[in-house]
Structure 1
Amino acid sequence: MSFKIAIIGAGSVGFTKKLFTDILCVPEFKDIEFALTDISEHNLGMIKAILDRIVEANKLPTKVTATTDRRKALEGARYVISCVRVGGLEAYADDIRIPLKYGIDQCVGDTICAGGILYGQRNIPVILDFCKDIREVADTGAKFLNYANPMAMNTWAAIEYGKVDTVGLCHGVQHGAEQIAEVLGAKSPGELDYVCSGINHQTWFIELRLNGRPIGKDELVAAFEAHPVYSKQEKLRIDVLKRFGVYSTESNGHLSEYLPWYRKRPDEITRWIDMSDWIHGETGGYLRYSTETRNWFETEYPQFLEAASKPIDPAKRSNEHASHILEALETNRVYRGHFNVKNNGVIANLPQDAIIESPGFVDRFGINMAAGITLPEACAATCMASINVQRMSVHAAIAGDIDLLKLAVLHDPLVGAVSTPEEVWQMVDEMVVAEAAWLPQYAHAVPAAKERLAKSKVKTREWAGAARRSVRSIEELRAEKAALKQAG
């Protein structure tokens, strides 16, 4: 087989390398072309050198090109994969820093809440530019695989306004299933059969079977509470399981900021989170992790390049959906996964226009969703609160409507639990002004926002959050890695 895959945001070096090696685990794909594109020539150079090294070490005919000219990369592409972070860590830092001034403590801030909503405002104009290029220069009927957050908003915009065949992909379902299989004592994750459905980052394991045996709430609660690690790291997630009756796909830290109950007071935050790793609820945890990872990669790049000389091992193919979707579409080997698509009646008690994440099957006819799912009422209610915020956020981003943007932020569950309307109005003004370089649709609104900020009497505070850790230096990371290696 010979076709072209374009990867936008290929400067996300580690993730691009994973997608690349996954796809080349499919024997029929050795003759394909990868076209890498990014706004950073530096990062493009690094990832191309790594991928070239992989191709050379494995004696493959695979072609790898790299360019900052996105349209050139997309020309004739059958598949387009996006893993962009619009605004980079600079804008992301403001997504975390500014809401803290108003008492809003986020762990990740990339899905909803104040940070996720502003992240969506930065992404959506760029996503629509991608879609325009795909329509104009990519292969007829090209499929757009979006990995970028905020997943639901980006996918919603691409489908509804970009008019491109789009699917959103995330690995939260796989990770949650691995946890469940582990606590139940399964020998491998494959022993667990499940139905998981909802919206991205609020997906729910509504049916579980271990080797054909149904698993109920009480057995699952007992298994998690008995686990020596998860019982400490996933306290909030276990509490939601007890109350809702089903387990959520999302980590303790992710889940905590989508709900109005666990992060609205500093003393409550420290009660429910775990500081052993960023993903369990640390204030700005993903920002710290991302900053450390970038610094580490830049410093240790020669080692990453050297590691690329190893043979590709199909046994180590990851459970990221992309390679399996492409394999199913091109070879007709059926793949079952969980995909972000427009609802259109798949989940009966969620809106038709919502972007859902639910089971589907892929073959040469495309992605075919399993319809007729009804979520437990509490799960549907929680999803609905987020969907309403997502819908307003997408519409605000498309129209450049700062008033609608403020209403979207006001209706966010955690923001509403913490902040007053006056605080929300000022916070959004401050975030739009700070991130104006990445918000072209709000250029007309920035001067008035600056005037309001100059006259505002709403009080703020400089607050690091309830559970903030400092970014570790390269030397600290090296020492920690050496200690773990010695202990292991």
Structure 2
Amino acid sequence: MSFKIAIIGAGSVGFTKKLFTDLLCVPEFRDIEVALTDISQHNLDMIKAILEKIVEANGFPVKVTADTNRRRALEGAKYIISCVRVGGLEAYADDIRIPLKYGIDQCVGDTICAGGILYGQRNIPVILDFCKDIREVAAPGAKFLNYANPMAMNTWAAIEYGKVDTVGLCHGVQHGAEQIAEILGAKSVSELDYICSGINHQTWFIDLRLNGRKIEKDELIAAFEAHPVFSQQEKLRIDVLKRFGVYSTESNGHLSEYLPWYRKRPEEIARWIDMSDWIHGETGGYLRHSTETRNWFETEFPQFLASAAKPIDPAKRSNEHASHILEALETGRVYRGHFNLKNNGVISNLPADAIIESPGFVDRFGINMVSGITLPEACAATCMASINVQRMSVHAAVSGDIDLLKLAVLHDPLVGAVATPEEVWQMVDEMVVAQARWLPQYADAVPAAKERLAKSSVKTREWAGAARRNVRSIEELRAEKSALKKAV
């Protein structure tokens, strides 16, 4: 088979390498063209060198191109994959820093909460630019696979306003399933059958079967509490499991910021998180991790390049959905996964316009969702709170309505548990002014926001958060990696 795949935001070097390697694990895909595009020529040069090394080492006739001209990269593409981070780490730092001034302590801040909503405001205009290019220069009927967060908002905008065939993809379901398989003593995750449904990052394991045997709530709780690692790292998720009766796919740190109960008091945060790794609830944990990863990659690039000169092992193909979806669409080999699409009645107790994450099957006829799912009421209620925020956020991002944006942030569960309306109004003004260069739709609103900030009497504080760690230096990272190798 010979067709073109374009990857937007290909400068996300590690993730792009994984997607590329997965694609080449499909025997029929070894004559494809992969077009890389990014705003950073430096990052494009690095990832192109790595991918060409992979191609050379395996002797495949794959064509790899790299171009900062996105429209040129998308010409004739049958599939387009996006993994962009609009504003980079600079804007992301404001997503964490400014809400902390108002007492809002986020672990990740890329889905909802104050940071995730502003992240969506930066992303959605760019996503719609992608969609315009796809409609105009990509292959007829091209499919857009969005990996970029905020997943639901980006996918919602691409479908409703971009008018492009779009599916949102994430790996939270797979990671949750791996945990459950481990605590239940399965030899591999293939022994576990499950139905996960909800919305991205708030998806719920509503049915679990281990080798055909149904796993009930009490058994799952006991298995998590008996696990020497997860019992400490996933305290909040286990508490939600006890109260809701089902396990959430999302990490302890992520889940903690989507709910109004666990991060609203600084003195309570330590009770529910674990500092062994960023993902378990550390303040600004993903920002620190992303910064360290970028610094590490820049410094260690020669080693990354050298490691690319190895034969591809199809047995090590990852569980990222993209390559499996394309394989099913192109070959007819059926793939079952969990996909982000418009609900349209698939989940009976969520709105039709919401972007849900739920099971589906892929073949030559497309992605076919499993319908007739009803979430437990508590899960549906929690999802609804986020869906309402997402809907307002998308419409604000498209219209440039700063008042609607403020209402979206006000209705965010964690923000509403911590901040007053006056604080929310000022915080949004501050974030929009700080990120104005990435928010063209709010250009007319920025001068008035600056005036309000100059006159405001709402008090703030400089606060690092309840559980902050410093970014580690390259030397510290090397020392830790060396110690881990010796321990093994």
1:277-356 matched pairs, under 5 angstroms:
277-356=277-356
Q: Provide the rounded CA distance (Å) in 1 between the counterparts of 2:102 and 2:273.
A: 21
Partner of 2:409: 409
- Matched residue of 2:7: which SS? strand
- Whichever residue aligns with residue 367 of structure 2, its letter is I
What TM-score do you get using the length of structure 2 for normalisation?
Answer: 1.00
- Whichever residue aligns with residue 97 of structure 1, its letter is R
Runs of at least 5 residues in structure 1 that lack an aligned partner in the other structure: none
Partner of 1:447: 447
Partner of 1:24: 24
How many residue pairs were aligned?
Answer: 488
1:185-334 matched pairs, under 5 angstroms:
185-334=185-334
Q: Provide the rounded CA distance (Å) in 1 between the counterparts of 2:437 and 2:286.
A: 23
- Whichever residue aligns with residue 48 of structure 1, its letter is K
- Give, in angstroms, the shift of residue 455 of structure 1: 0.2
Deviations 1:161-192 (A, max 9, x none): 00000000000000000000000000100000
Q: Provide the rounded CA distance (Å) in 2 between the counterparts of 1:10 and 1:107.
A: 25
- Whichever residue aligns with residue 334 of structure 2, its letter is V
- Whichever residue aligns with residue 321 of structure 1, its letter is H
Partner of 1:122: 122
- Whichever residue aligns with residue 486 of structure 1, its letter is K
Deviations 1:431-451 (A, max 9, x none): 000000100000000000000
Say what the alpha-carbon RMSD is for the aligned residues.
Answer: 0.2
- Matched residue of 1:68: which SS? coil
Deviations 1:349-404 (A, max 9, x none): 00000000000000000000000000000000000000000000000000000000
Within the alignment, does 1:427 sit opposite 2:427 as a pair? yes
- Give, in angstroms, the shift of residue 63 of structure 1: 0.1
- Matched residue of 1:208: which SS? strand
- Give, in angstroms, the shift of residue 131 of structure 1: 0.1
Partner of 1:163: 163
- Give, in angstroms, the shift of residue 267 of structure 1: 1.1
Deviations 1:396-433 (A, max 9, x none): 00000000000000000000000000000000000000
Within the alignment, does 1:136 sit opposite 2:136 as a pair? yes
- Give, in angstroms, the shift of residue 14 of structure 1: 0.2
- Give, in angstroms, the shift of residue 32 of structure 1: 0.2
- Give, in angstroms, the shift of residue 224 of structure 1: 0.1
Q: Provide the rounded CA distance (Å) in 2 between the counterparts of 1:362 and 1:23.
A: 16
Deviations 1:214-241 (A, max 9, x none): 0000000000000000000000000000
Partner of 2:360: 360
Q: Provide the rounded CA distance (Å) in 2 between the counterparts of 1:49 and 1:118.
A: 34
Within the alignment, does 1:181 sit opposite 2:181 as a pair? yes
What TM-score do you get using the length of structure 1 for normalisation?
Answer: 1.00
Q: Provide the rounded CA distance (Å) in 2 between the counterparts of 1:285 and 1:420.
A: 25
Deviations 1:436-476 (A, max 9, x none): 01000000000000000000000000000000000000000
Partner of 2:6: 6
- Whichever residue aligns with residue 300 of structure 2, its letter is E
Q: Provide the rounded CA distance (Å) in 2 between the counterparts of 1:218 and 1:192.
A: 17
Partner of 1:388: 388
- Matched residue of 1:81: which SS? strand
- Matched residue of 2:35: which SS? strand
- Whichever residue aligns with residue 116 of structure 1, its letter is G
Q: Provide the rounded CA distance (Å) in 2 between the counterparts of 1:437 and 1:483.
A: 43
Within the alignment, does 1:70 sit opposite 2:60 as a pair? no
Deviations 1:53-94 (A, max 9, x none): 000000110000000000100000000000000000000000
Runs of at least 5 residues in structure 2 that lack an aligned partner in the other structure: none
- Give, in angstroms, the shift of residue 303 of structure 1: 0.1
Partner of 2:60: 60
- Matched residue of 2:467: which SS? coil
- Matched residue of 2:351: which SS? coil
Q: Provide the rounded CA distance (Å) in 2 between the counterparts of 1:367 and 1:268.
A: 43
Partner of 1:462: 462
Q: Provide the rounded CA distance (Å) in 2 between the counterparts of 1:471 and 1:374.
A: 43
Q: Provide the rounded CA distance (Å) in 2 between the counterparts of 1:432 and 1:188.
A: 47
- Whichever residue aligns with residue 208 of structure 2, its letter is L
